Amino acid sequence: MKKILIIDDDREICLLLRKYLTKKGFETHEALSGKEAEKWLKKQEVDLILCDFKLPDYNGLEMLEKIKIIRPAAKVIIITGYSDVRIAVEALKKGAFEYVTKPLYPDEIMLTITNALETEHKQAAPVPKKPSRPEASKTDFISGKSLSAQKVNKHIELIAPTDMSVIILGETGTGKEYVARAIHQKSARSGAPFIAVDCGALPKDLAGSELFGHVKGAFTGALRDKKGCFELANEGTLFLDEIGNLSYENQIKLLRVLQERKVKPLGGSQERKVDVRIIVATNEDLKTAVRKGEFREDIYHRLNEFKIELSPLRERKEDIEVFALHFLKLANEQLLKNVESIDKRVLKILENYTWHGNLRELKNVIKRAVLLCDGPALSKEHLPEEIIFPVEDDQPDFEILIDGEAPPSLKAVTEAAEKTAIINALKRTNNNKSKTAEVLQVDRKTLYNKLKAYNLS
């Protein structure tokens, strides 16, 4: 019998989940706080953990870190309020299997749990791959119709048959891993493995061994020889996500592999030949990391044989309908439903939303809507409130008091507006100062002075 731990301080949710899951044949346990869960996990094995993002003592990311240390094999599903979705996406990157949003629907929970437990059986490679979401292994890559999507598609076709290294840039959820898989599948290497590694989720102490392998006895706990990702991907493609997170030491080792096409496992004396195509992804500007001395320039140039940039979904609204219909089809298949279309008004709402989680967030919203829909078309009532009435998240973090005794001075109003504009531009450019200066049409020096004046370090 599979064991599930529910971590939530809401006793009612615990009770509901317990009743439902016990009926479905699971053994369940509950913890009302992070500390209680931690104590329990130290003593007990568990297959899956349902964890509320907001616990009285830890937040979801802190809890996840603790779980990954105590029970690394357990699958974690994060439960969030819809407004936490961006943080939930962060949790996926840190190794959570999936997130579900409140209110909870039994069918949705059950489907996610089944997917998580099935993935456990299939997962053969002992590599901390990105949370191996089942859909990622299917070849359901589609292209949008925006100019930028068409350009990406053309570049995939061009680059796939070559052996060139590729850097893929884009915000979270824009489809970087999907593009990397598409390149692999269209290449002569498609018969060999595609190995995806999230460098941001690799535990610091183990990163070297996971990437380059180790020999028996290389360190305490190295009970047998282990192949690293480079060897596992031999003759295929290695996808290194969040490459900017590699430690300096591992960057040096990576450089050697790139130069010599050979790996030396930790503790070993012999080098082994590897034939691997490397595709890397990052959602920060690697060039800035190079400038700051955080990423080696020599590696950057070796990897930068070709660059593909994926635009955020909000900047290619023409693609929203194409992807929404594609995700509708997938959700119908997964949930055994038959929703045929999406109401025009819903499409308008989707097109006006900001999609910080990009395609991943759109896919989840559509899946949830399909789950709630009993008729032939998705309509407004199936969307989360937050999508219909988005909370303006570009609010200034200080307010001008209009109702106070004294009206605000013109200077205060101007400064408030300036500060808001800078914050918005920084968000839009992912904190890239050069781009922010460009967007605001000021020089970098002026921007730096303003950042200092408004305390926006």
Q: Site residues (CB under 6 A) for ligand ATP?
A: 93, 133, 135-136, 140-142, 170, 172-178, 241, 283, 359-360, 363
**Residue number with the shortest CB distance to ligand ATP?**
175
Q: Which SS3 state, helix, strand or coil, does residue 373 take?
A: coil
User: Between 125 and 413, whose beta carbon lies closer to ligand ATP?
Assistant: 125
CB 258 within 8 A of CB 299: yes
What is the nearest approach in angstroms of ligand ATP to the Cβ of residue 149? Answer: 8
The strand pair at 277-282 and 237-241 is best described as parallel
Q: Please name which of 305, 244, 249, 310 lies closest in space to residue 278, comparing C-alpha atoms.
A: 305
Q: Output 28 or 112, the one with its CB closest to ligand ATP.
A: 112
Q: Which is nearer to ligand ATP, 178 or 212 (CB)?
A: 178
Smallest CA-to-CA distance from 220 within 186, 175, 267 is with 267
What is the secondary structure of 89-110 as a DSSP string?
HHHHHTT--EEEESSP-HHHHH
Closest CB 256 distance from ligand ATP, rounded Å:
26
**Can the peptide bond before residue 103 be classed as cis, meaning omega within 30 degrees of 0?**
yes
- For ligand ATP, give the closer residue by CB, 182 or 346: 182
Nearest distance from C-beta of residue 436 to ligand ATP, angstroms: 21
Q: What span, in angstroms and rounded, lies between the C-alpha atoms of 61 and 50?
A: 13
The candidate with the shortest Cα–Cα distance to 53, out of 82, 16, 18, 30, is: 82
- Coil, strand or helix: which one is 277? strand
CB of 377 to ligand ATP, least distance (A): 22
Residue number, 41 or 85, with CB nearest to ligand ATP: 85
Task: Please report how close the Cβ of residue 323 comes to ligand ATP at its closest, in angstroms.
Answer: 7
Task: Give 454's DSSP letter.
Answer: T
Q: Please name every residue paired with 30 in a beta bridge, in sequence order, or none if there are none.
A: 6
In angstroms, give the least distance from the CB of 85 to ligand ATP. Answer: 12
- Rounded least distance, CB 404 to ligand ATP, Å: 44
CB closer to ligand ATP, 71 vs 316: 316
Residue 190 burial (CB < 10 Å; 0-12/13-18/19+)? Answer: middle
Nearer to ligand ATP, 37 or 100 (CB): 100
